[in-house]
Chains A and B, each alone.
Chain A
Amino acid sequence: MSQINFEKKILKNGLTVIYHSDPNTPFVVVNTLYKVGSKNELHHKTGFAHLFEHLMFEGTPNIPYFDGPLQEAGGENNAFTNNDYTNYYDFVPATNAEIPFWMEADRMQNLKINATSLKLQKKVVIEEFKENYINQPYGDIQHILRTMVYQKHPYQWPTIGKDIGHIKDATLKEVKDFYHQYYSPNNAILVVAGNIESDKTFELVEKWFSDIPTQNQSSLEIAQEPIQTSAREKTHLANVPENMIILAFQMPGRLEKGYFEGDLITDILSSGPSSRLEYQLVKERALFSDIDAYITGSIDTGMFVIEGRIHNGIDIQVAKDAIWEELKNLQENDISDIELEKVKNQMLTYMRFSDASLLNKAISLAYYEMLGNAQLINEEADEYENISKEDIRDFAKKYLNFSQSNTLYYLSKA
C-alpha cells in the first residue's frame, strides 16, 4: 500500500496543522476545516452554518474583496458546508504559496460582517435554496426524509436549512456570535499540501497563525438519536413525472463499528451495472428507471438510503417488495467470495484515483484529523479489506429491518 505521509503540529493557540509534501505538482493547497456544521444549529435557526460560509467571503479591513488576491495569485478557492463541518480550500501556484496563509489567517480573526453583506448573502443563499431544492424535481427529498429518520438529532434538517424563512430571519448579532463561537484556531484544522517544503510551511504557519487568539468554546450539546424501534411511513405528492420510493435506515456513525460494512453494502446494491439492484430491478425486472443506494457518512448516527424511481405503470407495492426481497437476500444468504472481492476491488481503485488529486488528499487529511487522527487516511483501505461475509450479513440483519425502516412514497400528482 502506498502511504500518504504527513507531519502534524499543534500551535499554542490550539490550531492543528497537518503538512503533506507532494513535489510532483506545481501547486500548493491550503485547506482550513472548522469543526462546525448544520448539526450545531438550533432547530428554529437552521441553515446558519452554510449562510455563514458565504459571509466568510465578504472580506476584512485588510482584504476588502476576499477572492481578489487569490485570483491575482493565479489561484482558485471555494468552500462547502455539511452537517458536521465547514471546509475552505485555496489552490494556488507554488510561487504564491504564502498568499492563502495570509488570507486564511486574516479571515480567521478579522472578518468584517455588516448589515449590508448579511442582507446580500441572504438573498444569494435564498436563490441557492430555490435553485437546488425547490426548482428541481424531487429536490426536497432530503428535507422530508431527514425529519423521518431523525426525531431528536439536528441531522433532521439539511445543510441548506429547513426553510427559507430561517435564512431570512438571521440577525447580525447571531452571525457575529456564531463567528466568535466557532471560528477560532482551537476549533480549526489547517492542512498545507503540495509543492512546498516542511520548514517553509511551519515557518509560514508560525508567522501568520500563531498570534491569533484562542476563543472559549461553548458548544451546545448535540442530542443523539435514539434507536428507532418501529417502522415509519410517509406519502408526499408532488409535480413529478414518475413515482419514487425511498427507504432509509439508521446506521452506525463514521467511527462506529459497522460503518464500513454499510458503505460496502451500498456498493453491492448499486455500484455499476452488475450490482444487485441495478441488474435485478432496473434491467431484468424493469421496475425502476433508476435506483441508487448510498450512505450519508456522517459522524453521528448516519442514514443508509435506497431510492428508486419507478416506471409509470408499475405498482408501487410491487416495486417496494422487490427492494425488500433484495434486503432479505442480504440477511439470509452469504454473499459469494467473488462478489465480495469485486466490491472491494472497486472500492480500492476508487480510492486510488481519488488520492491522485492533491485537493482531495488535503481535504481528506483535514477530515480524518477532525475524526481524531489524520493517520486514518492510510488505514481505511484495510478497513474495507477486512470485511467478511459474516460482517455483511450481520449488518443487514441488524440495521436493514422493517421495524427500523423509514419509507417515503414520493408520488406523482398526475
Chain B
Amino acid sequence: MKFKTAPTIHSLNVPEFKVPERTTLKNQIDIFEFPGIVPEISRVDIVFNSGKWTESAPMIANSVAKLFKSGTRRQNAYQMSESIDFLGSTINVYAGYHGFTIAIYSMKKNLIKTLNLMMECLNENIFPEDELENYIKNLQSKQLIREEKTELIADRALKNSIFGKNHPYGYEAAQEFIEQLSLEEIRKYFLNEIQAKKPTIYISGTFGDEEIKFIDQLFSEEVYREQEDNIEHIITASSDYIQNIKKEKSAQTSLAIGMQSIHKSHEDYAFLSLTNTIFGGYFGSRLMSNIREEKGYTYGIYSILQTYKRSGAIFVQTETSHEHAKSCVNEVKTEIQKLQEVLIGDEEMKQARNYLLGKYLSRMDGAFSQMELYKNFQIEGVDIQYFNKFADTILNMSKGVVRDMAQKHYNFETMYQITVGN
C-alpha cells in the first residue's frame, strides 16, 4: 500500500447570519422572509408572544395548541383535518415557553388553501366540549405510560426542583394538572393570548409575492393587541438536593443532575456554551469519554445547556444499571472538579471548538434552518447580532476561560441529584 498522509484539517469560517428581509403588513405585523432553493415546498410559522409563560395554569397553552383544529362553526374536527390532509399539508401547533407557534408545512401550490384553513381555525375555533373530553381522556392515558418511564420521572423531578412545580420552566405533564384543565380557561387563553395578540410571521422555502400579499390580506381585518408578556413567575427552588425516587422493577436507574444557569443574553453564554460542550455536549465530551467509552456504564450521557428567555439551566442526564448509579454520580462530580482545576489541552480545545462551530454552521444551512434559528432568537428575545459574535468569541476563547467558566457556573454541591430506579 502506498503511503498516504492524513489530510489537513482546516479551520472553519462561519459566515455572518444575514438579517432576513422584513415586510411590515398593513396591520403592522412583521413578516420575515427566508427564500430557499427547495422544490416547491414552503413553511410558514405564525408566532404569538405567549406560550406557557402567559397561561393561567400548567398545560393550558399546550391544550389550546392540541385543540387548535378541534372544529369551527363551518367544519367539525374531522372535516377540518380532512380538508388539511387532503391538501397533503400539515398544521402543527405547539406551545413553547414563550412562543405559541402555528407551523404550516405545505406544497407551494397548496399554501394559500392551507393558510385559509389555518385562518378559519384561528378566527372561528369553538372548542367543542366533546373534543376536550376526548382529548383529556387520551392525555390521561398517555400520562399513565409516561409515569412508567424512569427517565421522564427523573427529568420532571429535576425541573420541578430547579424552578418549582408550577413554574412554566419547571413543570412537566402530570395527572393533577390534567384533572384541572377547564374549557373556560382554555377558551380564555385562546381569546386573550392568541386571537387578540399581534403575531409575528416567518415564511421560508418556495413562495412569491402572491403568498405574501395573501397573508397581508388574511391578517388585515382584525385589530390586534401589541405583544407583551410582562407576567412574573417566581422561582421556588427545592431545598432537597438529593432525591432517590423508587420505581419498582425498573431495569435501569435514570439519573438527572442539574442546576439553574444563565440565559443567552448573559455575557458568559458563548463561553459557557463551549465549556458545556467539552463537559458533556457531544460524543467526544468528558462525560461520554469517561462514563461510556472508558467504563461502559451507559449508552449515553449528556449535559445540556438549556436557555429560556428569562433563565437557563444545566441538565445532566443518563440511564445506567442500578449497580453503577452511584459511580456515575461520582464521575459527574469528578469531571466537574477536573474541569475546574486542570487546564484543558490544546487538542481537546480545538476539537470541541470546531465541533461547536460546525454545529452553528449547520444551524444556518438552508432556508428552513435559518428561519428556525432566527425565530427562536426572536422568541427568546436575543438580538441575532449576538449569534454573529458567537463564532468570534469562541474562536478567540482561551483555555483558561474554560476553567473560569467551570468554576463560576458549575457547582456540584448546589446541583440537584435525582435518581429513579429500584
Contacts and interface: CB of A to CB of B under 8 A. Distances in A.
Contacts of B7: 96, 98-99, 101-102
A195 B282 CA distance: 25
A329 B90 CA distance: 27
Contact of A345 (B86, B319, B320): B86
Given A239-B249, A346-B85, A62 B6 contact: yes
Contacts of B105: 349, 353
Interface string B317-328: 001110000000
B10 interface: yes
B85 A93 contact: no
A67 B292 CA distance: 14
Interface in A344-363: 344-350, 352-353, 355-356, 358
B282 A131 contact: no
B107 A131 contact: no
B40 interface: yes
Interface stretch (B116-124, B238-246, B362-370): B362-370
A72 B351 contact: yes
A142 interface: no
A306 B16 CA distance: 48
B249 A242 contact: no
A387 B249 CA distance: 48
B258 to A, nearest CB: 20
Contacts of A24: 36-37, 366
Interface residues of A, number: 79
Nearest to A109: B1
Given A24-B366, A348-B107, A93 B361 contact: yes
B78 interface: yes
B214 interface: no
A99 B299 CA distance: 26
Contacts of B137: 286, 289, 311
Contact of B149 (A26, A136, A273): A136
Contact of A96 (B9, B147, B292): B9
A273 B87 contact: no
B296 interface: yes
A274 B78 contact: yes
A239 B9 CA distance: 52
Given A99-B9, A353-B105, A123 B358 contact: no
A185 to B, nearest CB: 14
A135 B296 contact: no
B284 A68 contact: yes
Contact of B366 (A25, A121, A282, A309): A25
B142 A127 contact: no
B365 A120 contact: no
B251 A134 contact: yes
Given A74-B12, A282-B138, A120 B355 contact: no
Interface string B355-394: 1011101100110100000000000000000000000000
9 contacts: A26-B365, A65-B284, A93-B358, A124-B296, A274-B81, A286-B137, A290-B142, A349-B41, A356-B368
Interface of B: 1-2, 4, 6-7, 9-10, 12-13, 15, 36-41, 69, 77-78, 81-82, 84-90, 105-107, 110, 134, 137-138, 141-142, 144-145, 147-150, 205, 249-252, 282-284, 292-299, 319-321, 350-352, 354-355, 357-359, 361-362, 365-366, 368
